[in-house]
Amino acid sequence: MLKSGLLRAAVKLTLPVFAAYWLIGFGYGVFATHLQLAWWFPLVTAALVYSGSVEFILASLMLGAYCPLAVFVMAFLVGARHLFYGISMLDRFKGAGWRKFFMIYMLTDETFAVTFANPVPAGLAPHRFQLVVSVLVWLYWLTGTAMGTFLAHACPAVDLPGMEFVMTAMFAAIFAENWRTEKSHAGSRIGLAVSFVALLLFGADDFMLPAMGGILAVLTLLRKKLS
């Protein structure tokens, strides 16, 4: 059984993610339903694919001639940034046992953002806490998708204009909170600077992977000075 303190701490940490994931998941359920896909499609993909961008694209691809290779390449390119998240979390996953496989599977942008930047509350087992956080975030996405799917079937006129801004707002809130609590802003400044340079060089559509690679390289080179 979960200790009340463990669950309470995990819920408190993931509240910003809940607000974003539930609404985006809701939007995905509405989107897939409006594409005339089967009611179970958004639920199954939300539970098993668990990659918001890939799920939206996959739903669109289902309307045309299905090409497994195209889906694989698309999913790999969209999710390639998770390679950097995984590398950053290697030390934290050591000794996690069976929990490690679930935490790796459930490692999303938002789960990484809240677990990597925030220390585990005192008195709580780190691996158990990280697993509970991961499962909670997954449930936020799944329940939001389920609600959007069922509501869209019951009321086909439902729509969510401006939904795409929610994730941007959530990341801005997480960054602001980390900036407020961290002792040194060196890492954050490096991330901002490298991301800005990558944006100028590669444009808004293609800067993500170069930015992640550049941040990883700079932080690795300056690891001793920053630690």
Model pLDDT, residue 144? 93
Domain that holds residue 87: 4-160
* Count of domains observed in the chain: 1
pLDDT digits (tens, 9 = 90+) for 187-215: 788 888 988 998 999 888 778 778 878 88
Q: Which residues of 21-35 are buried (b: 16+ CB within 10 A; e: fewer)?
A: bbbbbbbbbbbbbee
Domain membership flag for residue 199: no
Domain membership flag for residue 177: no
Domain membership flag for residue 46: yes
Question: If you average pLDDT over every residue of the chain, what do you get?
Answer: 81
Domain membership flag for residue 170: no
Q: Which of 73, 71, 65, 111 is nearest to 92 (CA)?
A: 111
Domain membership flag for residue 99: yes
